Copies of this chain bind each other. A is one copy, B any other.
Amino acid sequence: MSSSTQTPTGDRIDGRTPDQLREVRITRGWLDQAEGSALIEFGRTRVLCAASFTAGVPRWKQGSGSGWVTAEYAMLPRATNTRSPRESVKGKIGGRTHEISRLIGRSLRAVIDLDALGENTIQLDCDVLQADGGTRTAAITGAYVALADAISWGKQHTSLPAASQVLTDSVSAISVGIVGGRPLLDLEYREDVEAETDMNVVVTGSGSFVEVQGTAEGAPFDRTELGALLDLATGGCADLAKIQRDVLAEQR
């Protein structure tokens, strides 16, 4: 388990400085049976990430020699402040759920060499147990840890060669936004609802962008604001990449 260590001394709702992450905690191997798993916490946001490694690939990839990584995101009904109906009960998955599941899958595939994975599939499940803003970015960051452990598992328990370079980099994600005219890192829920612009940024361990998704919730934004947000996100993701490295370096 690993966590960010800055002491809150800023003037945000919870005392953070504009460029400060919430306390980040990653509990590796939270599940006994999954090939990889991590409970990740960004402050009160808690996401349980499980990685399931299975031999074989979906039909459309069979015979390609190449593997597949996919993700599903969901939220427990009482993760939020007031209860939301279950999508299983409604009988359909909402647009937001779909959108985030796709984002997580794309983000992790960006650091995977699918050919090196061989005809194996890794399914990531990111279930939000408690939501306080930033659930999709916590999910990506935690899913990377679960994914790394599932690949290690595959090297030990399947025909996946131990020398395969399946992971080409690490990946993490953070939200940034303009709140009350100020660019802020890692919005908690109360900040998120007041943001004029909200951006989710996915960054590799080596500092390149995988996804940049910025939305003007209130007034449209200009190039200067965009630049400030990208600076914050790049810094935040560098912190997250270090936390990921530390937690994965621990003996299990």
**Cα distance A223–B228 when bound, in Å?**
12
Q: A239 within 8 Å of B by Cβ? A: no
Assess whether A211 is in contact with B216, with CB atoms less than 8 Å apart. yes
Residues of B within 8 A of A86 (CB): 72, 74, 88
Assess whether A88 is in contact with B102, with CB atoms less than 8 Å apart. no
**Cα distance A176–B204 when bound, in Å?**
22
**Nearest CB of B to A97, in Å:** 8
Known: A214-B211, A221-B208. A34 touches B78 (CB 8 A): yes
Residue among B78, B89, B129, B199 making CB contact with A93, cutoff 8 Å: B89
Assess whether B76 is in contact with A125, with CB atoms less than 8 Å apart. yes
Residue among B32, B50, B54, B216 making CB contact with A210, cutoff 8 Å: B216
Q: Which chain B residue shows the least CB distance to A227?
A: B223
**Cα distance A123–B204 when bound, in Å?**
39
Q: A182 within 8 Å of B by Cβ? A: no
Contact with B along A198-212 (1 / 0, CB 8 A): 010000101111111
Chain A interface size, under 10 / 10 to 19 / 20 to 34 / 35 or more: 35 or more
Assess whether B226 is in contact with A208, with CB atoms less than 8 Å apart. no
Residue among B33, B106, B169 making CB contact with A80, cutoff 8 Å: B33
Assess whether B230 is in contact with A223, with CB atoms less than 8 Å apart. yes
Contact with B along A32-59 (1 / 0, CB 8 A): 1110010000001000101010100000
If A95-B101, A99-B102, A199-B212 are given as contacts, then 17 extra A-B residue pairs at C-beta distance below 8 Å, sorted by A number, are A32-B132, A52-B78, A54-B83, A72-B77, A83-B123, A89-B93, A92-B92, A95-B102, A98-B98, A207-B222, A208-B219, A208-B221, A209-B214, A211-B215, A212-B212, A213-B214, A223-B230
